[in-house]
Structure 1
Amino acid sequence: MDCNEARPLLDANADHELPAPDARRVQQHIESCDDCRRASENLRALSGALRAAPYHRAPKLLRARIVAGLPATLDEAPAVSAAAVARNDAPAQAGEIAAAGGPDLAAKAPRRQRRGSWLSTWLDSWLRGFSGSGGSGGFGGPVATGGAGRMAARGGLAALVIAVCAVAVVVTLNLRRPAEFTPFTDELVESHVRAQISGRDIDVISTDRHTVKPWFNGRLDYSPPVEDLAASGFALQGGRLDYLAHQRVAVLVYRYGKHVIDVYVFPQTASGGAARGTDGAVPAALAHDGYSIAHWDAEGMTWWAITDAAPDALSGLETALKARLRGGSERTEAG
């Protein structure tokens, strides 16, 4: 990344608004460029000064005028007290509005109330139907005929509706999450990001599979297949050990253009349950926090690949890798 690319991103970087890959690239440029570093420090200082500046609250009279000029909503007249609402005291409401914003606002109050009263009318009808009569019943006179009891019933019904909606949203999100993201995929993303940020994403640096594969001997209780796919655009960069789903796993590091692809390899019987959702499904491909993730099984191994490149890059790597494995390159060279 050069200065022309970094300068437009400095503001967002100072406010921590960039995705992790972009933030990492900008930070690397800042560390090597004095001009951009000074500009970044100035932006951070300005941001800190703005956050520390005193907050000026608008006067109540100004707020009342602004609110009164807004289109009618479900709320009744805005600048009224709770006591005036409880006793349905329209003159008191108009008086309070007049005190805040003048006679014009007082003249508008009854009309605003009428336009916002459909919810109250519906609630009254619902309560009467629920009680089984037009004016009395299961709720008794205070609820059916108005007054403080009816206001309490409205508040209780509103709270009930909000609670039901909140439960429905939570249940829906929890039901959808296992099919898309599991704790395993969260851990996968964290492992990939941690390796990139630390600058120690490769333990054994080599493009030679005959160097990378033997390096895992004695460090794992299995032997991961290692293939160099440079002919297909995925050059082997090396490998590393990582800890995922409570076990050591092999990670093969590939380079696709300017993008790094981490490929986690472990036996199919290991961590299989952790990688699945509660419905037992393992998604073949998904996106999480701006990263593309793909999964497949081959040669008795489970493969998980993650990158900040487009998803089709992982599709190409999977196709090239499976073709090499089917060709039996390891067995051919061993023979």
Structure 2
Amino acid sequence: MDCNEARPLLDANADHELPAPDARRIQQHIESCAACRRESENLWALSGALRAAPYHRAPQSLRERIVAGLPSVDEPTGATEPPAVSVPSATTPPREPARRGWLERWLDGWRAPQGGFGWPSRAGGAGGPVGSVGSGGVFARGWLAALVLALCAVAAGVALNLRRPADFGPFANELVESHVRAQVSGRDIDVISTDRHTVKPWFNGRLDYSPPVEDLAASGFALEGGRLDYLAHQRVAVLVYRYQKHVIDVYVFPQAGAGRDADGAAPATLGREGYSIAHWDAEGMTWWAISDAAPDALKGLEVALKARLQSGSERTETGS
């Protein structure tokens, strides 16, 4: 791959939109091309800044409650001529004004004597309120309703932001995106096997380290295979386990690698978008597990894996 082919794909690579083979080809080119590497680093920095920016969508239920609280507007149907206007005579007693909603009464409090909201009356110097005739009142009501909606959306965003976990940063967000991308693409496993003696050698020559691989089917976590992925600017091994009907991706790389202390997330905690994330260190490796299963499932996998590693199965089989 040369620069002419790589440059159009740098944006998609920074947004994790490329298939794994194309992402690997792009990375190989970036490692050998200083100009493309600088461009890629700028795009990664921009992508990280955009992902870190807070964005919250107001729930649909909030919009429905606000709309339900607004006064109804009865529009004439089938009218071909304007309604006749009756002019009261001197002997006719004044009619009692119709009962109005809270929004109309609130608008009356804002209207200035000269016509409302500091605007001149459309009927002349001492005319009626703007909200009662002409398009000025319609504009005022629409403007105020939009303001109420905006304030409620801001309040909802602040409330959601206060509940957002503080211990999940860019690395954990990248982890979630990697897991979701693999599941959606249907290419979540590069080497399909339940045999650790098949999965572990598959990584040879594809990584500059050898990840420990254990089959934990006896503990309820069956090994299904593995794949390569790209996280924190490095290639990492991903072990794929099955727990009941849930897929668990376990990212493994040396402790000296990027992301070792990323975010400081506590083990078996609930991440964003309903995914559970766990993080621990063992056998000189950093382990990150993510799944849509409950946090207790990841805690069980961590315990089973550490017990298996401490039993010396990896060292025993290697020595034999």
What's the TM-score once normalised by structure 2's chain length? 0.53
**Pair 1:185–1:240, CA change in 2 (3 A):** closer
Question: Which has the larger share of helix?
Answer: 1
- Contact 1:212 / 1:239 at 8 angstroms: preserved in 2? yes
Whole-Å Cα distance in 2 between the matches of residues 168 and 269 of structure 1? 42
2:278 matches 1:295: yes
Whole-Å Cα distance in 2 between the matches of residues 167 and 244 of structure 1? 34
- 2:241 equivalent in structure 1: 254
Give the C-alpha shift of residue 193 in structure 1: 0.4
Write the deviation string for residues 245-303 of structure 1: whole angstroms up to 9, x where unpaired: 44321111223345543322123454429964xxx65674336667x433212124332
**How is 1:216-235 mapped onto 2 (pairs within 5 angstroms)?**
216-235=203-222
Write the deviation string for residues 180-223 of structure 1: whole angstroms up to 9, x where unpaired: 6853144233243046x24x724162523x44333322211222
- Contact 2:115 / 2:129 at 8 angstroms: preserved in 1? no
Over the matched positions of the two proteins, sequence identity in percent amounts to 60
2:181 matches 1:207: no
- Contact 2:227 / 2:239 at 8 angstroms: preserved in 1? yes
Whole-Å Cα distance in 1 between the matches of residues 316 and 119 of structure 2? 91
- Contact 2:189 / 2:225 at 8 angstroms: preserved in 1? no
- Contact 2:227 / 2:238 at 8 angstroms: preserved in 1? yes
Whole-Å Cα distance in 2 between the matches of residues 256 and 191 of structure 1? 20
- Contact 2:267 / 2:299 at 8 angstroms: preserved in 1? no
Out of 99, 120, 127, the residue aligned to residue 104 of structure 2 is 120
**Pair 1:162–1:214, CA change in 2 (3 A):** same
2:130 matches 1:148: yes
* Partner secondary structure for residue 253 of structure 1: strand
Q: How many residues align?
A: 225
What's the TM-score once normalised by structure 1's chain length? 0.51
Give the C-alpha shift of residue 235 in structure 1: 2.9
Structure 1 unaligned residues grouped into runs of 5+: 1-71, 82-88, 93-109
- 2:301 equivalent in structure 1: 317
- 2:174 equivalent in structure 1: 184
- Contact 1:266 / 1:303 at 8 angstroms: preserved in 2? yes
Whole-Å Cα distance in 1 between the matches of residues 116 and 104 of structure 2? 20
**How is 1:120-139 mapped onto 2 (pairs within 5 angstroms)?**
120-125=104-109, 127=110, 135=113
